[in-house]
Amino acid sequence: MGTFHDDKGELHGITVVVDTTGSRVFIGRCDTMTDAGIVLLDADEHDSTTGTSKEDYVKKAARVGIWKKHDRVALTRDEFTTVKPLGEFTA
């Protein structure tokens, strides 16, 4: 997976879904993933307490993509539970 930059983790360059321990889920292009955490570029953020569930939000994003809210998002390892390529959610 990914390309070129081995030091940035195997998901470098891939659009990923990052589920957090709370109500938020992030989708963005993985820049770096290490034991310390993950950095996303051109990322969207969704809070499932605002109405749409995490699952429905990801399902829609898998169909058409995301509208970015953040140029860069950094999450520490204890802030998220899973990281998966958005492409894996495409039906």
CA nearest neighbour of 12 among 36, 34, 44, 35: 34
68 binds another protein (CB under 8 A): yes
| Interface with another protein (CB under 8 A), residue from 18, 40, 58, 86 | 86
Torsion of CA 86, 50, 37, 7, to 10 degrees: 30
Instruction: Kindly state the smallest distance separating residue 4's Cβ from another protein, in Å.
Output: 6
Side by side, the strands of the sheet bearing 37-47 are: 70-76, 37-47, 24-34, 15-20, 80-85
Q: How many residues bind another protein (CB under 8 A)?
A: 18
| Interface with another protein (CB under 8 A), residue from 43, 66, 75, 83 | 66
Instruction: Kindly state the smallest distance separating residue 84's Cβ from another protein, in Å.
Output: 11
